[in-house]
């Protein structure tokens, strides 16, 4: 079975649109997401455009602020502080990666935790690992939603996550653990990786290398979640970390690239924006 993140996200976006349609009457306004894009990296431009389009479909107000790659760190931090103080802004997202002269850590920690729709702020990350209420990072949250929608039982399963980034690998491992999977976190330097991945009942790959996972690494019936977004070196087309054509016949469930995890990430970003908005309007009514 191929899980279409595109279809699931379209359904969830329609539900959010219906929810947001009632907000002006209930709360006097709609949620407002502000996205900051520094520079003009084509992949980042495309991601930011996708976020603006999804906002429009749902009825969320989207402001995209573009700044040149030469912007000074101080100026970017000042902009974030200004948005933190702006009561009409519910969510702030700074598209990563940033130019080398800007510290991503400083940028992320400057965003107010209550407006951190990415779930990247250290206080959000700490809350996640301490099982406290928090904003869940979008890609891991989207993966769990997809697994559940596909009817995959996570509890009791052996899960292997390849990749240990703050954005995907570590938090997705934590969310799988919270669903009672037994989780191993692996990486490109893990010894005899194929022997490990063959044991996986759920395999999540977030390593950023085209066709890194080959058919010999996957057992019959495995659930395969491909988080990779790469350019195929031969065809130039978008492709995942998994050799889809070779593995699809073996997998019980697999996500395609494009059209798998990617749309779910954006969908969860929209959900997080609505959550931040609701927390804000509720706080103000107390």
Where in the sequence numbering do the catalytic residues fall? 51, 95, 118
Q: How far apart are the first and last CA of the chain?
A: 47
| Residue 93 makes contact with ligand GUN by CB under 6 A | yes
For the CB of residue 138, give the shortest distance to ligand GUN in the complex, in Å: 5
Nearer to ligand GUN, 24 or 97 (CB): 97
Nearer to ligand GUN, 95 or 222 (CB): 95
| Residue 62 makes contact with ligand GUN by CB under 6 A | no
The span from the CA of 82 to the CA of 80, in Å, is 5
* SS3 state of residue 91: strand
User: How much is the CA Rg of the chain, to the nearest whole Å?
Assistant: 19
Name the one range near ligand GUN by CB under 6 A: 7-15, 70-78, 90-98, 177-185. 90-98
Residue from 17, 57, 96, 127 in contact with ligand GUN (CB under 6 A): 96
For the CB of residue 96, give the shortest distance to ligand GUN in the complex, in Å: 4
Cis peptide before 54 (omega within 30 of 0): no
The secondary structure element, H or E, covering residue 67 is strand 61-67
Nearer to ligand GUN, 140 or 210 (CB): 140
| Residue 138 makes contact with ligand GUN by CB under 6 A | yes
For the CB of residue 94, give the shortest distance to ligand GUN in the complex, in Å: 6
The span from the CA of 8 to the CA of 225, in Å, is 15
* Pairing between β-strand 61-67 and β-strand 223-226 as defined by DSSP bridges: unpaired
Residue from 116, 118, 179, 201 in contact with ligand GUN (CB under 6 A): 118
For the CB of residue 93, give the shortest distance to ligand GUN in the complex, in Å: 5
The span from the CA of 10 to the CA of 259, in Å, is 11
Number of residues that bind ligand GUN (CB under 6 A): 8
Alpha helices for the chain (secondary structure H): 5-21, 23-27, 42-58, 73-85, 104-110, 122-129, 138-149, 169-178, 193-197, 244-247, 261-285
Q: Tell which positions 259-278 bind ligand GUN, by CB under 6 A.
A: 265
**Residues at the interface with ligand GUN (CB under 6 A):** 93-96, 118, 138, 167, 265
């Amino acid at each position: 079975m191929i899980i279409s993140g595109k279809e699931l996200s379209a359904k969830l976006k329609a539900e959010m649109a219906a929810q947001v349609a009632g907000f002006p009457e209930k709360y006097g306004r709609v949620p407002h997401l502000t996205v900051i894009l520094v520079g003009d990296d084509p992949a980042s431009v495309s991601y930011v455009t996708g976020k603006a389009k999804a906002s429009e479909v749902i009825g969320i107000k989207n402001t995209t602020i573009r700044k040149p790659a030469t912007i000074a760190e101080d100026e970017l931090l000042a902009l974030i502080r200004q948005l933190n103080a702006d009561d009409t802004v519910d969510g702030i997202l700074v598209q990563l990666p940033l130019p080398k002269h800007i510290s991503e850590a400083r940028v992320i920690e400057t965003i107010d935790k209550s407006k951190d729709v990415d779930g990247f702020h250290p206080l959000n990350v700490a809350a996640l690992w301490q099982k406290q209420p928090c904003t869940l990072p979008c890609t891991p949250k989207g993966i769990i939603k997809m697994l559940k929608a596909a009817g995959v039982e996570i509890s009791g399963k052996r899960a292997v996550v390849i990749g240990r980034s703050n954005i995907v690998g570590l938090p997705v491992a934590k969310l799988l653990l919270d669903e009672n999977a037994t989780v191993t976190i692996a990486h490109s330097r893990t010894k005899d990786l194929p022997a490990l991945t063959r044991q996986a009942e759920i395999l999540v790959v977030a390593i950023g290398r085209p066709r890194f996972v080959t058919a010999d690494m996957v057992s019959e019936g495995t659930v395969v979640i491909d988080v990779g977004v790469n350019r195929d070196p031969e065809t130039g087309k978008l492709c995942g970390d998994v050799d889809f054509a070779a593995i699809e016949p073996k997998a019980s469930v697999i996500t395609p690239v494009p059209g798998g995890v990617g749309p779910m990430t954006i969908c969860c970003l929209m959900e997080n924006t609505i959550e931040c908005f609701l927390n804000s309007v509720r706080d103000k009514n107390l």
